[in-house]
Structure 1
Amino acid sequence: MNTQEAIIEAAIALFNLKGYQGTSIRDIASRAKVNPANISYYFKNKQGLLEECLIYFFEPYLSFLEEETQKLENDSGQLCLIRAIKKVMYFQSKHYQLARFVWREITIDTQTSREMISLYLMKEQYFYSKMIQAASKENKTPLSISMIVIQLKGMLMMPYINNLYVREVWGMIPQEPYFAEKYFNVIKSWLLVLLGSEEQNTSPTIKKLPV
Protein backbone atom coordinates (compact mmCIF):
# COMPACT_ATOMS: atom_id res chain seq x y z
CA MET A 1 0.00 0.00 0.00
CA ASN A 2 1.49 3.35 -1.03
CA THR A 3 1.25 6.61 0.93
CA GLN A 4 -1.86 7.89 -0.86
CA GLU A 5 -3.72 4.62 -0.33
CA ALA A 6 -2.70 4.53 3.33
CA ILE A 7 -4.08 8.05 3.82
CA ILE A 8 -7.36 7.20 2.07
CA GLU A 9 -7.80 4.00 4.10
CA ALA A 10 -7.12 5.89 7.34
CA ALA A 11 -9.55 8.65 6.38
CA ILE A 12 -12.33 6.18 5.55
CA ALA A 13 -11.91 4.40 8.88
CA LEU A 14 -11.90 7.64 10.88
CA PHE A 15 -14.74 9.28 8.95
CA ASN A 16 -16.84 6.22 9.84
CA LEU A 17 -15.76 6.23 13.46
CA LYS A 18 -15.79 9.95 14.26
CA GLY A 19 -17.61 11.53 11.34
CA TYR A 20 -16.13 13.89 8.77
CA GLN A 21 -16.44 16.98 10.97
CA GLY A 22 -15.01 15.17 14.00
CA THR A 23 -11.90 13.97 12.19
CA SER A 24 -8.82 16.16 11.89
CA ILE A 25 -5.94 16.03 9.44
CA ARG A 26 -3.68 15.18 12.36
CA ASP A 27 -5.93 12.22 13.28
CA ILE A 28 -5.70 10.87 9.75
CA ALA A 29 -1.95 11.37 9.54
CA SER A 30 -1.45 9.59 12.85
CA ARG A 31 -3.52 6.58 11.80
CA ALA A 32 -1.85 6.40 8.38
CA LYS A 33 1.58 6.84 10.03
CA VAL A 34 2.52 9.72 7.75
CA ASN A 35 3.45 13.35 8.19
CA PRO A 36 0.43 15.74 8.00
CA ALA A 37 2.31 17.52 5.21
CA ASN A 38 1.81 14.41 3.05
CA ILE A 39 -1.95 14.93 3.17
CA SER A 40 -1.56 18.55 2.07
CA TYR A 41 0.79 17.44 -0.71
CA TYR A 42 -1.51 14.78 -2.15
CA PHE A 43 -4.97 16.16 -1.36
CA LYS A 44 -4.48 19.87 -0.47
CA ASN A 45 -6.86 19.71 2.51
CA LYS A 46 -9.51 17.59 4.25
CA GLN A 47 -12.14 18.54 1.68
CA GLY A 48 -9.88 17.33 -1.10
CA LEU A 49 -9.37 14.08 0.78
CA LEU A 50 -13.13 13.67 1.20
CA GLU A 51 -13.66 14.10 -2.53
CA GLU A 52 -10.92 11.56 -3.25
CA CYS A 53 -12.61 9.02 -0.96
CA LEU A 54 -15.86 9.45 -2.89
CA ILE A 55 -14.04 9.03 -6.20
CA TYR A 56 -12.27 5.97 -4.77
CA PHE A 57 -15.73 4.41 -4.41
CA PHE A 58 -17.64 5.67 -7.43
CA GLU A 59 -15.05 5.04 -10.16
CA PRO A 60 -14.97 1.23 -9.77
CA TYR A 61 -18.67 1.11 -8.84
CA LEU A 62 -19.70 2.83 -12.06
CA SER A 63 -17.24 0.79 -14.11
CA PHE A 64 -19.25 -2.34 -13.23
CA LEU A 65 -22.45 -0.73 -14.48
CA GLU A 66 -20.86 0.68 -17.61
CA GLU A 67 -19.25 -2.66 -18.45
CA GLU A 68 -22.58 -4.50 -18.27
CA THR A 69 -24.46 -1.75 -20.12
CA GLN A 70 -21.99 -2.10 -22.99
CA LYS A 71 -22.76 -5.83 -23.17
CA LEU A 72 -26.43 -5.17 -23.96
CA GLU A 73 -25.65 -5.58 -27.67
CA ASN A 74 -24.86 -9.26 -27.14
CA ASP A 75 -26.49 -10.28 -23.85
CA SER A 76 -30.01 -9.91 -22.48
CA GLY A 77 -30.86 -6.91 -20.34
CA GLN A 78 -31.92 -9.22 -17.53
CA LEU A 79 -28.57 -11.02 -17.50
CA CYS A 80 -26.56 -7.78 -17.67
CA LEU A 81 -28.58 -6.24 -14.84
CA ILE A 82 -28.22 -9.27 -12.58
CA ARG A 83 -24.47 -9.49 -13.24
CA ALA A 84 -24.06 -5.78 -12.51
CA ILE A 85 -25.93 -6.07 -9.20
CA LYS A 86 -23.83 -9.04 -8.12
CA LYS A 87 -20.60 -7.16 -8.86
CA VAL A 88 -21.87 -4.16 -6.90
CA MET A 89 -22.91 -6.33 -3.95
CA TYR A 90 -19.51 -8.00 -3.66
CA PHE A 91 -17.66 -4.71 -4.14
CA GLN A 92 -19.66 -3.02 -1.38
CA SER A 93 -19.26 -5.97 0.97
CA LYS A 94 -15.51 -6.10 0.38
CA HIS A 95 -15.21 -2.33 0.90
CA TYR A 96 -17.76 -2.16 3.70
CA GLN A 97 -16.43 0.90 5.52
CA LEU A 98 -16.05 2.84 2.28
CA ALA A 99 -19.60 1.98 1.14
CA ARG A 100 -21.01 2.84 4.55
CA PHE A 101 -19.29 6.20 4.63
CA VAL A 102 -20.14 7.13 1.02
CA TRP A 103 -23.85 6.31 1.23
CA ARG A 104 -24.20 8.13 4.54
CA GLU A 105 -22.35 11.15 3.14
CA ILE A 106 -24.54 11.25 0.03
CA THR A 107 -27.69 11.47 2.17
CA ILE A 108 -26.45 14.73 3.74
CA ASP A 109 -27.38 17.84 1.75
CA THR A 110 -24.00 19.47 1.21
CA GLN A 111 -22.27 21.07 -1.75
CA THR A 112 -20.07 17.99 -2.08
CA SER A 113 -23.01 15.57 -2.10
CA ARG A 114 -24.85 17.70 -4.67
CA GLU A 115 -21.78 17.66 -6.90
CA MET A 116 -21.43 13.88 -6.51
CA ILE A 117 -25.10 13.39 -7.40
CA SER A 118 -24.68 15.53 -10.49
CA LEU A 119 -21.43 13.88 -11.54
CA TYR A 120 -21.80 10.22 -10.55
CA LEU A 121 -25.34 9.36 -9.55
CA MET A 122 -26.83 10.62 -12.79
CA LYS A 123 -24.50 8.20 -14.60
CA GLU A 124 -25.60 5.46 -12.25
CA GLN A 125 -29.25 6.22 -13.03
CA TYR A 126 -28.52 6.11 -16.76
CA PHE A 127 -26.80 2.71 -16.64
CA TYR A 128 -29.44 1.08 -14.46
CA SER A 129 -32.22 2.57 -16.58
CA LYS A 130 -30.71 1.20 -19.80
CA MET A 131 -30.43 -2.33 -18.41
CA ILE A 132 -33.89 -2.31 -16.79
CA GLN A 133 -35.46 -0.91 -19.94
CA ALA A 134 -33.84 -3.64 -22.04
CA ALA A 135 -35.02 -6.35 -19.63
CA SER A 136 -38.53 -4.87 -19.59
CA LYS A 137 -38.77 -4.99 -23.40
CA GLU A 138 -37.45 -8.55 -23.55
CA ASN A 139 -40.05 -9.80 -21.10
CA LYS A 140 -42.77 -7.56 -22.56
CA THR A 141 -43.42 -6.15 -19.09
CA PRO A 142 -44.43 -2.45 -18.93
CA LEU A 143 -42.65 -0.91 -15.98
CA SER A 144 -41.94 2.47 -14.43
CA ILE A 145 -38.19 2.49 -15.06
CA SER A 146 -37.43 5.46 -12.81
CA MET A 147 -39.37 3.95 -9.89
CA ILE A 148 -37.52 0.64 -10.19
CA VAL A 149 -34.18 2.48 -10.25
CA ILE A 150 -35.15 4.25 -7.02
CA GLN A 151 -36.26 0.99 -5.38
CA LEU A 152 -33.15 -0.88 -6.52
CA LYS A 153 -30.87 1.91 -5.35
CA GLY A 154 -32.56 1.93 -1.96
CA MET A 155 -32.09 -1.83 -1.60
CA LEU A 156 -28.39 -1.61 -2.48
CA MET A 157 -27.77 1.23 -0.02
CA MET A 158 -29.89 -0.01 2.87
CA PRO A 159 -27.48 -2.53 4.49
CA TYR A 160 -24.79 0.15 4.75
CA ILE A 161 -27.02 2.91 6.08
CA ASN A 162 -29.00 0.65 8.43
CA ASN A 163 -26.43 -2.03 9.19
CA LEU A 164 -27.62 -2.50 12.79
CA TYR A 165 -31.13 -3.26 11.57
CA VAL A 166 -29.81 -5.80 9.05
CA ARG A 167 -27.80 -7.48 11.78
CA GLU A 168 -30.86 -7.58 14.05
CA VAL A 169 -33.12 -9.10 11.38
CA TRP A 170 -30.70 -11.48 9.64
CA GLY A 171 -28.07 -12.02 12.30
CA MET A 172 -25.40 -11.02 9.77
CA ILE A 173 -23.28 -8.00 9.02
CA PRO A 174 -22.81 -6.61 5.49
CA GLN A 175 -19.05 -7.13 5.39
CA GLU A 176 -19.43 -10.90 5.60
CA PRO A 177 -19.06 -12.60 2.18
CA TYR A 178 -22.08 -14.84 2.63
CA PHE A 179 -24.20 -11.76 3.37
CA ALA A 180 -23.45 -10.42 -0.12
CA GLU A 181 -24.46 -13.75 -1.65
CA LYS A 182 -27.70 -14.02 0.34
CA TYR A 183 -28.70 -10.40 -0.22
CA PHE A 184 -27.90 -10.63 -3.91
CA ASN A 185 -30.24 -13.62 -4.24
CA VAL A 186 -33.02 -11.68 -2.50
CA ILE A 187 -32.65 -8.77 -4.92
CA LYS A 188 -32.41 -11.11 -7.92
CA SER A 189 -35.64 -12.90 -6.94
CA TRP A 190 -37.38 -9.55 -6.50
CA LEU A 191 -36.24 -8.39 -9.93
CA LEU A 192 -37.28 -11.59 -11.68
CA VAL A 193 -40.78 -11.33 -10.24
CA LEU A 194 -40.96 -7.64 -11.11
CA LEU A 195 -39.81 -8.28 -14.67
CA GLY A 196 -42.33 -11.08 -15.08
CA SER A 197 -39.54 -13.45 -16.03
CA GLU A 198 -40.62 -16.96 -16.97
CA GLU A 199 -37.25 -18.21 -15.78
CA GLN A 200 -37.55 -17.43 -12.09
CA ASN A 201 -36.45 -20.91 -11.13
CA THR A 202 -33.99 -21.33 -13.99
CA SER A 203 -32.56 -17.85 -14.29
CA PRO A 204 -29.23 -17.33 -16.12
CA THR A 205 -26.27 -18.69 -14.25
CA ILE A 206 -24.15 -15.99 -12.69
CA LYS A 207 -20.58 -17.03 -12.10
CA LYS A 208 -19.32 -16.76 -8.55
CA LEU A 209 -17.25 -13.61 -8.22
CA PRO A 210 -13.97 -13.46 -6.31
CA VAL A 211 -14.33 -12.09 -2.80
Structure 2
Amino acid sequence: MSKAMSITKEKVAEAAAYLFNNKGYSGTSVRDIAEKAGVNVSLISYYFGGKKGLLEFLMSSFLEGYLYVLQDAYEKLEKQSARNCLIQLIEEVILYQQGRSQAARLVHREISIDTTLVREIMTTYLMKEKYYLNAILDKGMKQKEFKPLSKNMVIMQMRSMLFMPFLYPQYIKEIYQFSVNDRYFISKYLNIIQDWADDALCINYDANTIAGKENKQAPLAAP
Protein backbone atom coordinates (compact mmCIF):
# COMPACT_ATOMS: atom_id res chain seq x y z
CA MET A 1 0.00 0.00 0.00
CA SER A 2 1.36 3.42 -0.97
CA LYS A 3 1.90 6.16 1.59
CA ALA A 4 -0.98 8.20 0.11
CA MET A 5 -3.34 5.22 0.34
CA SER A 6 -2.25 4.53 3.91
CA ILE A 7 -2.95 8.15 4.89
CA THR A 8 -6.38 8.01 3.23
CA LYS A 9 -7.23 4.79 5.05
CA GLU A 10 -6.16 6.36 8.34
CA LYS A 11 -8.32 9.44 7.67
CA VAL A 12 -11.35 7.24 7.03
CA ALA A 13 -10.73 5.27 10.24
CA GLU A 14 -10.35 8.45 12.31
CA ALA A 15 -13.53 9.93 10.81
CA ALA A 16 -15.46 6.74 11.50
CA ALA A 17 -14.29 6.54 15.13
CA TYR A 18 -15.33 10.16 15.71
CA LEU A 19 -18.76 9.70 14.13
CA PHE A 20 -19.45 6.33 15.79
CA ASN A 21 -18.70 7.99 19.13
CA ASN A 22 -20.83 11.06 18.54
CA LYS A 23 -23.71 9.73 16.41
CA GLY A 24 -23.62 6.05 17.26
CA TYR A 25 -22.86 3.18 14.90
CA SER A 26 -26.45 2.87 13.68
CA GLY A 27 -26.81 6.64 13.31
CA THR A 28 -23.73 6.95 11.11
CA SER A 29 -23.92 6.26 7.38
CA VAL A 30 -21.10 5.37 5.02
CA ARG A 31 -21.76 8.69 3.29
CA ASP A 32 -21.32 10.53 6.61
CA ILE A 33 -17.93 8.88 7.08
CA ALA A 34 -16.82 9.66 3.53
CA GLU A 35 -17.87 13.29 3.89
CA LYS A 36 -16.08 13.65 7.23
CA ALA A 37 -12.91 12.09 5.82
CA GLY A 38 -13.14 14.00 2.54
CA VAL A 39 -12.99 10.87 0.38
CA ASN A 40 -15.15 9.12 -2.18
CA VAL A 41 -17.78 6.79 -0.70
CA SER A 42 -16.49 3.88 -2.81
CA LEU A 43 -13.16 3.97 -0.96
CA ILE A 44 -14.80 2.76 2.24
CA SER A 45 -15.98 -0.41 0.53
CA TYR A 46 -12.61 -0.76 -1.17
CA TYR A 47 -10.58 -0.47 2.02
CA PHE A 48 -12.92 -2.00 4.61
CA GLY A 49 -15.75 -3.81 2.83
CA GLY A 50 -18.35 -1.43 4.27
CA LYS A 51 -19.35 0.01 7.62
CA LYS A 52 -19.28 -3.29 9.51
CA GLY A 53 -15.78 -4.04 8.24
CA LEU A 54 -14.70 -0.57 9.28
CA LEU A 55 -15.93 -1.14 12.85
CA GLU A 56 -14.12 -4.47 12.97
CA PHE A 57 -10.94 -2.81 11.70
CA LEU A 58 -11.12 -0.06 14.33
CA MET A 59 -11.57 -2.52 17.16
CA SER A 60 -9.02 -5.10 16.06
CA SER A 61 -6.31 -2.57 15.18
CA PHE A 62 -6.70 -0.81 18.55
CA LEU A 63 -6.66 -4.06 20.50
CA GLU A 64 -3.68 -5.44 18.58
CA GLY A 65 -1.68 -2.35 19.55
CA TYR A 66 -2.90 -2.64 23.13
CA LEU A 67 -1.84 -6.28 23.34
CA TYR A 68 1.57 -5.35 21.96
CA VAL A 69 2.02 -3.02 24.96
CA LEU A 70 1.07 -5.83 27.36
CA GLN A 71 3.28 -8.34 25.59
CA ASP A 72 6.24 -5.97 25.79
CA ALA A 73 5.81 -5.68 29.57
CA TYR A 74 5.40 -9.46 29.88
CA GLU A 75 8.60 -10.13 27.94
CA LYS A 76 10.57 -7.91 30.35
CA LEU A 77 9.70 -10.13 33.31
CA GLU A 78 12.93 -12.11 32.99
CA LYS A 79 15.08 -8.99 33.38
CA GLN A 80 12.97 -6.76 35.61
CA SER A 81 10.95 -7.06 38.78
CA ALA A 82 7.23 -7.67 38.41
CA ARG A 83 6.61 -4.34 40.12
CA ASN A 84 8.66 -2.41 37.56
CA CYS A 85 7.01 -4.26 34.67
CA LEU A 86 3.58 -3.38 36.04
CA ILE A 87 4.42 0.29 36.65
CA GLN A 88 5.79 0.63 33.11
CA LEU A 89 2.78 -1.21 31.70
CA ILE A 90 0.40 1.23 33.40
CA GLU A 91 2.22 4.19 31.86
CA GLU A 92 2.37 2.69 28.38
CA VAL A 93 -1.32 1.71 28.39
CA ILE A 94 -2.39 5.21 29.44
CA LEU A 95 -0.20 6.88 26.82
CA TYR A 96 -1.30 4.41 24.14
CA GLN A 97 -4.94 5.29 24.75
CA GLN A 98 -4.24 9.01 24.92
CA GLY A 99 -2.75 8.86 21.44
CA ARG A 100 -5.89 7.10 20.18
CA SER A 101 -8.59 8.58 22.39
CA GLN A 102 -11.44 8.31 19.85
CA ALA A 103 -10.66 4.66 19.10
CA ALA A 104 -10.21 3.90 22.81
CA ARG A 105 -13.63 5.34 23.66
CA LEU A 106 -15.26 3.41 20.84
CA VAL A 107 -13.65 0.08 21.70
CA HIS A 108 -14.33 0.27 25.43
CA ARG A 109 -17.97 1.17 24.78
CA GLU A 110 -18.54 -1.51 22.14
CA ILE A 111 -17.09 -4.19 24.41
CA SER A 112 -19.96 -3.52 26.83
CA ILE A 113 -22.47 -4.66 24.19
CA ASP A 114 -23.19 -8.35 23.64
CA THR A 115 -22.59 -8.94 19.92
CA THR A 116 -20.98 -11.66 17.83
CA LEU A 117 -18.01 -9.38 17.18
CA VAL A 118 -17.54 -8.69 20.89
CA ARG A 119 -17.70 -12.40 21.74
CA GLU A 120 -14.94 -13.03 19.20
CA ILE A 121 -12.89 -10.22 20.74
CA MET A 122 -13.38 -11.68 24.22
CA THR A 123 -12.03 -15.07 23.16
CA THR A 124 -9.03 -13.66 21.31
CA TYR A 125 -7.75 -10.28 22.46
CA LEU A 126 -9.16 -10.10 25.97
CA MET A 127 -8.18 -13.63 26.95
CA LYS A 128 -4.62 -12.74 25.92
CA GLU A 129 -4.90 -9.57 27.98
CA LYS A 130 -5.83 -11.68 31.01
CA TYR A 131 -2.91 -14.02 30.35
CA TYR A 132 -0.29 -11.26 30.26
CA LEU A 133 -1.63 -9.42 33.31
CA ASN A 134 -2.06 -12.65 35.24
CA ALA A 135 1.54 -13.65 34.46
CA ILE A 136 2.94 -10.37 35.81
CA LEU A 137 0.87 -10.59 38.98
CA ASP A 138 1.67 -14.26 39.43
CA LYS A 139 5.42 -13.64 39.29
CA GLY A 140 5.11 -10.74 41.70
CA MET A 141 3.22 -12.88 44.20
CA LYS A 142 5.60 -15.84 43.88
CA GLN A 143 8.61 -13.56 44.34
CA LYS A 144 6.95 -11.96 47.40
CA GLU A 145 6.81 -8.56 45.69
CA PHE A 146 3.01 -8.48 45.67
CA LYS A 147 0.49 -9.34 48.35
CA PRO A 148 -1.35 -12.68 47.88
CA LEU A 149 -4.53 -11.15 46.50
CA SER A 150 -7.06 -12.49 44.01
CA LYS A 151 -5.42 -11.91 40.62
CA ASN A 152 -8.79 -11.77 38.89
CA MET A 153 -10.04 -9.05 41.23
CA VAL A 154 -6.83 -7.05 40.88
CA ILE A 155 -7.03 -7.21 37.09
CA MET A 156 -10.65 -6.05 37.06
CA GLN A 157 -9.87 -3.17 39.41
CA MET A 158 -6.82 -2.11 37.41
CA ARG A 159 -8.69 -2.25 34.10
CA SER A 160 -11.39 0.03 35.46
CA MET A 161 -8.81 2.66 36.37
CA LEU A 162 -6.83 2.34 33.14
CA PHE A 163 -9.86 2.71 30.88
CA MET A 164 -12.26 4.99 32.76
CA PRO A 165 -11.05 8.43 31.51
CA PHE A 166 -11.08 7.27 27.90
CA LEU A 167 -14.51 5.65 28.15
CA TYR A 168 -16.02 8.75 29.81
CA PRO A 169 -14.11 11.76 28.40
CA GLN A 170 -17.25 13.90 28.44
CA TYR A 171 -17.74 13.21 32.14
CA ILE A 172 -14.12 14.17 32.84
CA LYS A 173 -14.55 17.36 30.84
CA GLU A 174 -17.93 18.53 32.12
CA ILE A 175 -17.59 17.61 35.79
CA TYR A 176 -13.87 18.10 36.44
CA GLN A 177 -12.89 20.42 33.56
CA PHE A 178 -10.09 18.17 32.33
CA SER A 179 -9.36 16.75 28.91
CA VAL A 180 -7.92 13.28 28.40
CA ASN A 181 -5.60 14.89 25.85
CA ASP A 182 -4.20 17.28 28.45
CA ARG A 183 -0.66 16.38 29.53
CA TYR A 184 -1.18 17.66 33.07
CA PHE A 185 -4.27 15.55 33.64
CA ILE A 186 -2.66 12.41 32.21
CA SER A 187 0.49 12.95 34.29
CA LYS A 188 -1.47 13.32 37.55
CA TYR A 189 -3.86 10.48 36.75
CA LEU A 190 -0.93 8.22 35.87
CA ASN A 191 0.72 8.99 39.20
CA ILE A 192 -2.49 8.05 41.03
CA ILE A 193 -2.73 4.64 39.34
CA GLN A 194 0.94 3.86 39.85
CA ASP A 195 0.64 4.82 43.52
CA TRP A 196 -2.41 2.58 43.79
CA ALA A 197 -0.36 -0.32 42.41
CA ASP A 198 2.37 0.28 44.99
CA ASP A 199 -0.02 0.84 47.89
CA ALA A 200 -2.44 -1.97 47.15
CA LEU A 201 -0.10 -4.64 45.78
CA CYS A 202 3.48 -4.23 46.94
CA ILE A 203 4.56 -5.90 50.17
CA ASN A 204 7.80 -4.00 50.74
CA TYR A 205 6.48 -0.56 49.95
CA ASP A 206 8.21 1.89 52.28
CA ALA A 207 5.84 4.02 54.38
CA ASN A 208 8.28 6.92 54.06
CA THR A 209 8.00 6.69 50.30
CA ILE A 210 4.24 6.90 50.61
CA ALA A 211 4.48 10.03 52.76
CA GLY A 212 6.92 11.61 50.33
CA LYS A 213 4.61 11.01 47.40
CA GLU A 214 1.65 12.46 49.25
CA ASN A 215 3.59 15.60 50.02
CA LYS A 216 4.66 16.02 46.39
CA GLN A 217 1.26 15.44 44.84
CA ALA A 218 -0.80 18.47 43.87
CA PRO A 219 -4.61 18.15 43.75
CA LEU A 220 -6.12 17.68 40.32
CA ALA A 221 -8.31 20.69 40.80
CA ALA A 222 -8.68 23.44 43.34
CA PRO A 223 -11.43 22.69 45.90
Q: Is 1:33 aligned with 2:52?
A: no
CA distance in 2, matches of 1:67, 1:161: 24
Percent of residue pairs bearing the same amino acid type:
42
Residue 163 (structure 1) shift: 2.7
- C-alpha contact 2:146 2:203 (8 A) present in aligned 1: no
Q: Deviations over 1:68-92 (max 9, x none)?
A: 1011011111101110110010111
Secondary structure of 2:76's aligned partner = helix
Letter in 2 for 1:151: Q
Q: Deviations over 1:17-52 (max 9, x none)?
A: 111111111111111111111111111111100000
- C-alpha contact 2:138 2:151 (8 A) present in aligned 1: yes
Secondary structure of 1:75's aligned partner = coil
Give 5+ residue unaligned stretches, structure 2: 1-5, 211-223
Structure of higher CA gyration radius: 2
Residue 183 (structure 1) shift: 1.2
Residue 140 (structure 1) shift: 5.5
Q: Is 1:190 aligned with 2:192?
A: no
Residue 167 (structure 1) shift: 3.5
Higher-RCO chain (CA-CA 8 Å, sequence separation at least 6) = 1
TM-score (norm 1): 0.89
- C-alpha contact 1:71 1:80 (8 A) present in aligned 2: yes
Q: Is 1:135 aligned with 2:140?
A: yes
- C-alpha contact 1:93 1:177 (8 A) present in aligned 2: no
Letter in 1 for 2:182: E
Q: Deviations over 1:116-163 (max 9, x none)?
A: 111111111111111112222232621100110111111112112233
CA distance in 1, matches of 2:193, 2:203: 14
- C-alpha contact 1:136 1:195 (8 A) present in aligned 2: no
CA distance in 1, matches of 2:146, 2:166: 34
Shift of the 175–104 alpha-carbon distance from structure 1 to 2, 3 Å rule, reads: same
Shift of the 11–189 alpha-carbon distance from structure 1 to 2, 3 Å rule, reads: same
Aligned residues: 202
Is 41-50 or 160-169 further displaced after alignment? 160-169
- C-alpha contact 1:90 1:177 (8 A) present in aligned 2: no
Secondary structure of 2:202's aligned partner = coil
- C-alpha contact 1:68 1:83 (8 A) present in aligned 2: yes
- Correspondence for 2:10 among 5, 21, 30: 5
Is 184-193 or 155-164 further displaced after alignment? 155-164
Instruction: Name the structure 2 match of 1:205.
Output: none
Shift of the 31–169 alpha-carbon distance from structure 1 to 2, 3 Å rule, reads: closer
Shift of the 166–33 alpha-carbon distance from structure 1 to 2, 3 Å rule, reads: closer
CA distance in 2, matches of 1:174, 1:197: 32
CA distance in 2, matches of 1:107, 1:152: 17
